[in-house]
């Protein structure tokens, strides 16, 4: 319940456009996760052009679908690559590859995910990095 409330508050505040609020919410979503945390995971998914709130929703959807175990999320600047996390870039359409890099639009189109219904609202200037175990 607390996670859902935090996510709702975060989503509401993000759309206000306030940079200070955005940075504070980034800390809430990513927590203590850093590059080293993601490097230690078996597989990594990098989705570019994502709003902070959309990244949290994507992580929840991946966990619910069972695509990632022990998932950690890092919201960071765009431009990070699989190499940033010590992984080799694989086929973006293969969910079992060690690392995938996609834009939000391509991820939604190729994966058929329906957890985000409004692409315009979900798009942003961040990279959503999700690391998980097999």
Q: Give the tens place of pLDDT for each residue, 57-71.
A: 887 777 777 778 888
**One-letter-per-residue 3-state SS of 74-128:** EEEECCCCHHHHCCCCCCCCCCCCCEEEEEHHHHHHHHCCCCCCCHHHHEEEEEE
Q: How confident is the model at residue 96 (pLDDT cuts 50, 70, 90)?
A: confident
Q: For tokens 């306030």, what's the residue?
A: 18
pTM of the model: 0.76
First to last CA, the chain: 27
* Mean pLDDT, rounded, for 11-29: 52
């Amino acid at each position: 319940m607390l996670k859902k409330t935090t996510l709702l508050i975060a989503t509401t505040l993000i759309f206000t456009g306030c940079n200070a609020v955005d940075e504070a919410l980034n800390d809430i979503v990513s927590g203590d996760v850093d590059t080293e945390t993601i490097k230690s995971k078996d597989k990594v998914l990098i989705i570019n052009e994502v709003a902070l709130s959309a990244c949290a929703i994507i992580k929840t959807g991946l966990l619910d679908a069972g695509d990632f175990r022990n998932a950690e999320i890092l919201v960071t600047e765009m431009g990070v690559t699989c190499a940033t996390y010590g992984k080799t870039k694989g086929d973006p359409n293969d969910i079992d590859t060690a690392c995938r890099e996609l834009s939000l639009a391509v991820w939604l189109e190729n994966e058929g995910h329906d957890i985000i219904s409004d692409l315009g609202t979900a798009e942003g200037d961040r990279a959503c990095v999700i690391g998980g175990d097999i």
